[in-house]
């Protein structure tokens, strides 16, 4: 999952088409990136929204060229069973390809360029990257799965000499800490520190909570999904 900024071809941030209608199940399907599916599911449960989360593999973030196609396939597969389908991805390095899929299918996605924008807000992320362009952004998911999603996927476990090629221009790791639970934060802190240590970079912690994700989901869902019976 890259921390670099990309610019989607669409300037709207997300498709403006109305959510699709299915067979009258009374529920909404959220086709979500696996990296945000778990916190999204917790928010959905806490809010009592009639939403089912359908995650895609989080490792798609390492192959953003495949995201649009995988989203299209899953949306097409689940939509007959739901009143509406929405997409829990930002542009995520698809350079507008996801917007094209959303427009064609008549579904909406999360606004923003990356999930970092969803958690911390686009302005805050922009400020972090402008302050130090060599900032590597870390989420709770990445902190937990760093060995698998970063080291193994990039081959650093087998070819450690590649570390400088991939991360030589980075100057710090910023952990966007989403959890509000003290116990969970205590468990995640050493994992985030270990990830920074593996990259040989200092760690900075920026608490974000999950309010950003909750508001993003709220704006994405059809109005009737926000008022459970």
Largest CA distance in the chain: 57
Q: Do 215 and 201 fall into the same domain?
A: no
178 phi, psi to nearest 5 deg = -90, -30
On the question of pLDDT at 178 being above 70, the answer is: yes
Is position 2 within any domain? no
pLDDT in tens, 132-176: 999 999 999 999 999 999 999 999 999 999 999 999 999 999 999
**8 Å CB contact between 169 and 136:** no
Q: Do 81 and 67 fall into the same domain?
A: yes
Cβ-based neighbour number of residue 164 at 10 Å: 10
CATH no. for residue 65?
Answer: 3.40.50
SS (H, E, C) 33-78: EHHHHHHHHHHHHHHCCCEEEEEECHHHHHCHHHHHHHHHHHHHHH
Which residue segment(s) compose the domain that 190 sits in? 122-207
Question: In whole angstroms, how large is the CA radius of gyration of the chain?
Answer: 18
Distance CA 129, CA 206 (A): 13
On the question of pLDDT at 197 being above 60, the answer is: yes
Distance CA 73, CA 202 (A): 40
pLDDT at 4: 41
What is the number of structural domains in the chain? Answer: 2
Q: Do 96 and 157 fall into the same domain?
A: no
Q: Per-residue pLDDT averaged across 202-224, rounded?
A: 92
Q: How far is CA 85 from CA 35, 81, 166, 199, in A?
A: 19, 10, 37, 39
pLDDT in tens, 15-29: 333 344 445 568 999
Q: Do 128 and 198 fall into the same domain?
A: yes
């Amino acid at each position: 999952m890259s921390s670099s900024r990309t610019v989607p071809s669409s300037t709207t941030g997300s498709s403006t088409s109305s959510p699709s209608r299915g067979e009258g199940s009374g529920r909404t399907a959220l086709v979500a990136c696996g990296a945000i599916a778990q916190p999204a599911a917790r928010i959905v449960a806490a809010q009592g929204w009639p939403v089912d989360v359908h995650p895609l593999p989080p490792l798609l973030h390492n192959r953003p060229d495949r995201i649009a196609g995988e989203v299209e396939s899953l949306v097409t597969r689940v939509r007959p069973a739901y009143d509406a389908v929405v997409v829990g991805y930002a542009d995520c390095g698809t350079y507008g390809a996801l917007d094209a899929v959303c427009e064609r299918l008549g579904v909406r996605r999360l606004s923003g360029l990356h999930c970092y924008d969803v958690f911390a807000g686009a302005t805050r992320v922009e400020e972090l990257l402008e302050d130090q362009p060599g900032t590597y952004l870390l989420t709770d998911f990445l902190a937990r799965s760093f060995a698998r999603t970063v080291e193994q996927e990039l081959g650093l476990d087998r070819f450690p000499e590649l570390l400088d090629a991939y991360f030589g221009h980075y100057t710090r790791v910023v952990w966007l800490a989403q959890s509000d639970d003290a116990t969970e934060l205590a468990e995640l802190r050493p994992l985030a520190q270990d990830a920074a240590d593996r990259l040989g970079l200092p760690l900075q912690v920026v608490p974000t909570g999950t309010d950003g994700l909750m508001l993003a989901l709220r704006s994405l869902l059809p109005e009737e999904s926000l008022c459970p019976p």
